[in-house]
A = this chain, B = another copy of it.
Amino acid sequence: MSASSSTRQLARSSAAVEDYLERILELINTKGYARVVDIAQSLKISQASVTNMVQRLDTEGLLKYEKYRGLALTTAGEALARNITRRHQLLTDFLKLLGVDDEVIYHDVEGMEHHISPPTLRAIEALTQQLQRHPALLVKVRKDLDEN
């Protein structure tokens, strides 16, 4: 139930919302907190824009925000952020496996991640696992890429 409700959320949230949540969770995990200024720097956007979005995410119930004070993800917000993060990681792992350059991976995943639905994600996940267990085919793929 929690999974299905967060999936529904994920379907409705915009790419921008997903980027914010993902980054906020990451900041909380690494620094222990996520201030407006941190989020702004991390996403390379203005603090004013962050304030706006954070207020919106508060009204949407994804985080709790007190003006000038700070913010914390709600249960719903954290669940959603974790899904987004997992999806990001899965896509990154997949492309990494194929031998794509880190910078390209970063750029492409940043763009694609918001458009991958759960079924597609599951398929890529299953494929990634099989490729990891049986790397023979992967070797050929990388060779093909090196040659051309």
Contact = CB atoms under 8 A, between A and B. Distances in A.
- What is the count of identical protomers in the complex? 2
A108 B117 contact: yes
A4 B47 CA distance: 37
Interface residues of A, number: 33
Interface string A96-116: 001111001101101110111
Given A98-B127, A115-B115, A127-B98, A120 B141 contact: no
The 4 tightest CB contacts between A and B, nearest first, are: A111-B115, A98-B123, A126-B144, A112-B115
Interface of A: 95, 98-101, 104-105, 107-108, 110-112, 114-117, 119-120, 122-124, 126-127, 129-131, 134, 137, 140-141, 144-145, 148
